[in-house]
Chains A and B, each alone.
Chain A
Amino acid sequence: MTARKTESDKNTFSDKPKLAALRDGFSEGILKLGEENKNVVLLCADVAESTRSHFFKEKFPERFFEMGVAEQNMAAVAAGFALAGKIPFISSYAVFSPGRNFEQIRTTICYSNLNVKIAGHHSGLSAGPDGATHQALEDITMMRALPEMKVFVPCDALEAKKAVIASAKIHGPVYIRLARERTPLITSAKTPFIPGRADIIFEPKEKIKPQVLIIGAGPVLYEALLAAAVLEKEKIGAIILNLHTIKPLDENKIIELAKKTGCVVSIEEHQIFGGVGGAVSELLSKKYPIPMEFVGVKDSFGKSGLYSDLIKKYNLDSASIIESVMKVIKRKKF
């Protein structure tokens, strides 16, 4: 069994999919940038190893800045670097950056439209055993609400690397949402990453009619792929759209596919307020209102536990997606 879209990794549906962590993809991306562009600098807030920033530190010590446990300072110092023509990346856990330094990101980075890239690590439930205090479930909403900000939510390590590299080629602030745990590779090294262009990663077999559009972002898209495979056995066709760029939103692609299926399920490792599903429903309610269901964390904090257990506990797993698909199909008008 393979993902239907040629660009997807052949291994995705095997019993043992290849695993890799988004944070390692970040590391590869920032190392490549370090080699290509001497204006790239990396700032870190006393979490160098766990954010995989330490390889850059070893390779480019003069361009690595250890800012200590001071995320507010780190964000505004990065603004200063950008004012002087550098391309600073700031690296910490998403609960702290942008969680703690939101106002500095808003005022000193976004309002000045400066070239700062924010790597938000350990997002979603991937901080597992560390518990709710360390699980960022609100960062997409915060970041997409800011003018000038672009928001990338890569689904695997390969895409994370590409998102990091792409971010440096765009002028202005970019938020890149990363995760700690090793998760299945969904894309392949060859899959292009084009900011602002959502990619179909699964389509039903020719004879099966697409009945639902699943839109998601981040590693949890893997659960959507598992769900789609099960649904197909029941002759229910699903299209899965990898919305790796939440902002700017690929409006045309979403509407085009929504017209094909007539209903949508969103999936994200994030609060359901204003994140992936929020962005999609803001668009659809205005331009093409159709039934929609939201798979995400529903107005609660996380808790300590194994990442794989938490995905189930907060109903983000394939079974929950299937349930939402059945619900939304029943609500369809055509």
Chain B
Amino acid sequence: MPELTDKKVKNLELLANTIRQDIIEMLVLAGSGHVAGSLGMADVFSALYFHILNHNPKKPNWSSRDRVILSNGHICPVLYASLARAGYFPLEELKKLRSTHSRLEGHPHFSSLPGIENTSGPLGSGLSQAIGITLAFRLDNLKNRIFCLMSDGEHDTGNTWEAIMSAGKYRLNNLTAIIDRNNIQIDGFTEDVMPLESLRAKYESFNWHILEIDGHNIEAIIDAVNEAKAIYEKPTAIIAHTIPGRGVGFMEHDFSWHGKPPTEREARAALLELRTLSGRLKEE
């Protein structure tokens, strides 16, 4: 991983802001899609694709690349925008999200688009897929790192806990899960729908190493990933505390924004807010 300077941090914050603008533009054109989780994870995606990952967008199948497995497929707008910004495919294609003649499926489909490493949408099976890859790499003595991005809501599924248990059993230290702990799901706040706390204690008792961070703090995200690399004998889960809808005031913390796109008017207001923030960041 390259060195992290103040300038680089600011650059990553600006990239996250750009990705957020992309998300708003994509969703308003698509007329459907999931905005809150996508906006909330923009900082994590910026840190991953523009600093942390060992990858080559011009060679998406390069065998030494790190793998990003997205488990909560509904936040794929943030994945697509990050991939396009990183150079995996033309930015123009973002405008075609969810349309009939597009490669940008409503939920990510392996092999449809360069940079997509797995299929997801139905929640709860991404961590399992990441575990299979990690076990296979271990058999072949490969050192690639595997990142699995998960949501908090999907921890309601049995499959997720089956996976957590098996990753603990196999002591998969090359595997790092990053959990979007934004406290919302479709029907409300996670603690009302199906309480998850203490998430940390649950993971720890399944033999995982746990880190908790502010998921909007670029340095904290990168530091946590570095710490995870230093942990042997255990997989690490980074519980990233995020604000759903982050960056757009009227969407923040409101679970009703889980799965709807902004109207054109709302999109204009959202973009204005994001651009103002971007301008301020540049001036600092």
Q: Is B118 an interface residue (CB 8 A)?
A: yes
Q: Is A165 an interface residue (CB 8 A)?
A: no
Q: Is B163 an interface residue (CB 8 A)?
A: yes
* Alpha-carbon distance A294/B254, docked complex (angstroms): 56
Q: Which of B109, B131, B134 contacts A112 (CB 8 A)?
A: B109
Q: Is A70 an interface residue (CB 8 A)?
A: yes
* Alpha-carbon distance A1/B137, docked complex (angstroms): 55
Residues of A within 8 A of B122 (CB): 103-104, 107
Residues of B within 8 A of A85 (CB): 136
**Is the Cβ of A80 less than 8 Å from the Cβ of B139?**
no
Q: Which of A52-82 contact B (CB under 8 A)?
A: 62-63, 65, 67-68, 70, 72-73, 75-82
B235-253 to A contact mask, C-beta < 8 Å, 1/0? 0000000000000000000
Q: Which of A62, A63, A83, A113 contacts B129 (CB 8 A)?
A: A83
Most buried by A among B126, B132, B139: B132
Contact A107/B121 with A70-B166, A80-B135 known, Cβ cut-off 8 Å = yes
Q: Is B19 an interface residue (CB 8 A)?
A: no
Chain B nearest CB from A238 CB (Å) reads 45
Residues of B within 8 A of A79 (CB): 118, 125, 128-129, 132
Q: Is A209 an interface residue (CB 8 A)?
A: no
The interface residues of chain A, by DSSP majority, are classed as helix
Q: Is A111 an interface residue (CB 8 A)?
A: yes
Q: Which of B130, B131, B159 contacts A104 (CB 8 A)?
A: B159
Residues of A within 8 A of B126 (CB): 76
Q: Is B117 an interface residue (CB 8 A)?
A: yes
Chain B nearest CB from A46 CB (Å) reads 12
Q: Is B93 an interface residue (CB 8 A)?
A: no
**Is the Cβ of A63 less than 8 Å from the Cβ of B139?**
yes
Residues of A within 8 A of B120 (CB): 107-108
Interface residues of B (CB under 8 A from A): 69, 109-111, 117-122, 124-126, 128-137, 139-140, 158-159, 162-163, 165-166, 169
8 contacts between A and B (CB under 8 A): A41-B139, A68-B166, A75-B128, A79-B125, A84-B137, A107-B120, A107-B121, A113-B111
A77-B132, A79-B128, A81-B135 provided; 8 other pairs, C-beta below 8 A? Answer: A73-B162, A79-B129, A85-B136, A104-B122, A107-B119, A108-B125, A111-B109, A112-B118
Pairs A-B, 9 closest by C-beta atoms: A80-B132, A76-B128, A84-B136, A73-B162, A70-B162, A112-B110, A76-B125, A77-B132, A80-B129
Interface residues of A (CB under 8 A from B): 41, 62-63, 65, 67-68, 70, 72-73, 75-86, 88, 103-104, 107-108, 111-114
